[in-house]
């Protein structure tokens, strides 16, 4: 694979074989971001589970305390009072049958998050083949199928992200922009990892977090030591009590 000069220079500034503490890893990532745009910082966590089994799925959603730095376009499927509430909460697009027709007929896809009230899921189900492969299908576990659509819109706009396993048992999530600085990114990182740890399936055996890597959009991946990450779940639980 070809890498540019900036990437190669960044690789020289850290030890690729070392597992860093979170703060150290994020400092490396931030200092390695050389692009002319504000790069996104991403987390990639490999878990010791098997996503082929229903009892080992890891999926959920969490509102990052400092947001993602991305402007999120929200589409809401709702009718009547719920549609009005969604629009008042800041939804970019609100509709029902008309929105289904627009997506199916015009190929409209100018949105990042889809939220639906339960009574519209019969309509939304028609879009399964379009929204499903793109990871946009509303889901109760992610809080995107809910009677309180206004709250869901506000959370999405505030930086709510969904985490879920891919076919290789890895979770990929953005946790902010390089411009946030290390402290805010680390706070987002700890919030996300705490949620992933708390979501550990009872059927999971052995080491739960196999590896964790943080990287900016154009920068190299930096390994985070998984040893202390398991502590984040219990720490988050204690703080919420």
Instruction: Please answer whether residues 75 and 92 qualify as being in contact, where contact means their C-beta atoms are separated by less than 8 angstroms.
Output: yes
pLDDT score recorded for residue 198: 93
Crossing angle (nearest 10°) for helices 230-240 and 182-198: 90
Chain segment 31-54, per-residue pLDDT in tens: 988 889 999 999 999 999 998 899
Chain segment 177-233, per-residue pLDDT in tens: 999 999 999 999 999 999 999 999 999 888 999 999 999 999 889 999 988 888 887
pLDDT reading at 6 higher than 60: no
Confidence of residue 10 (pLDDT cuts 50, 70, 90): low
pLDDT score recorded for residue 105: 94
Chain segment 69-128, per-residue pLDDT in tens: 988 999 999 999 999 999 999 999 999 999 999 999 999 999 999 999 999 999 999 999
pTM of the predicted structure, to 2 decimals? 0.80
pLDDT reading at 5 higher than 70: no
Mean pLDDT score of the chain, rounded to an integer? 90
Query: Which H/E stretch holds residue 175?
Result: strand 170-177
Chain segment 65-83, per-residue pLDDT in tens: 999 998 899 999 999 999 9
pLDDT reading at 2 higher than 60: no
Q: What 3-state class would DSSP assign to 74?
A: strand
For residue 221, give the DSSP letter.
P
Among residues 74, 114, 77, the alpha carbon closest in space to that of 99 is found at: 77
- Pick left, alpha or beta for residue 135 (phi over 0 → left; psi -120 to 50 → alpha; otherwise beta): left
The Cα 27–Cα 216 span in angstroms is 11
Q: Which long-range contacts (CB under 8 A, 24 or more apart) does 20-25 make?
A: 20/222, 20/223, 20/224, 20/225, 21/224, 21/225, 21/228, 22/186, 22/189, 22/190, 22/224, 22/228, 22/229, 23/182, 23/186, 25/214, 25/222, 25/223, 25/224
Chain segment 129-171, per-residue pLDDT in tens: 999 999 899 999 889 999 999 999 999 999 899 999 999 999 9
pLDDT score recorded for residue 237: 46
Distance separating the N- and C-terminal Cα atoms of the chain: 48
Structure tokens at 12: 């020289």
pLDDT score recorded for residue 211: 95
Structure tokens at 144: 């995107």
Q: Give burial (CB, 10 Å; 0-12/13-18/19+) of 46.
A: middle
pLDDT score recorded for residue 227: 84
């Amino acid at each position: 694979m070809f890498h540019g000069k900036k990437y190669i220079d960044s690789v020289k500034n850290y030890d690729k074989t070392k597992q860093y503490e979170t703060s150290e890893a994020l400092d490396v990532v931030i200092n390695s971001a050389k692009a002319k745009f504000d790069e996104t910082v991403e987390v990639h966590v490999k878990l010791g589970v098997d996503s082929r089994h229903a009892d080992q799925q890891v999926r959920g959603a969490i509102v990052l305390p400092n947001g993602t730095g991305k402007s999120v376009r929200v589409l809401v499927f709702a009718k009547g009072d719920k549609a009005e509430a969604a629009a008042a909460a800041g939804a970019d697009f609100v509709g029902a049958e008309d929105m289904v027709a627009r997506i199916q007929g015009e190929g409209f896809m100018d949105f990042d998050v889809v939220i639906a009230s339960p009574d519209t899921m019969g309509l939304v189900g028609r879009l399964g083949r379009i929204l499903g492969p793109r990871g946009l299908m509303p889901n109760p576990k992610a809080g995107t199928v809910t009677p309180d659509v206004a709250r869901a819109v506000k959370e999405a706009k505030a930086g709510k992200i969904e985490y879920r396993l891919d076919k290789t048992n890895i979770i990929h999530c953005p946790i902010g922009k390089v411009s946030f600085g290390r402290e805010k990114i680390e706070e987002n990182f700890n919030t996300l990892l705490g949620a992933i740890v708390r979501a550990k399936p009872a059927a999971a055996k052995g080491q739960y977090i196999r590896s964790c890597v943080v990287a900016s959009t154009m920068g190299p991946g930096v390994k985070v030591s998984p040893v202390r990450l398991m502590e984040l779940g219990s720490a988050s639980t204690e703080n919420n009590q």
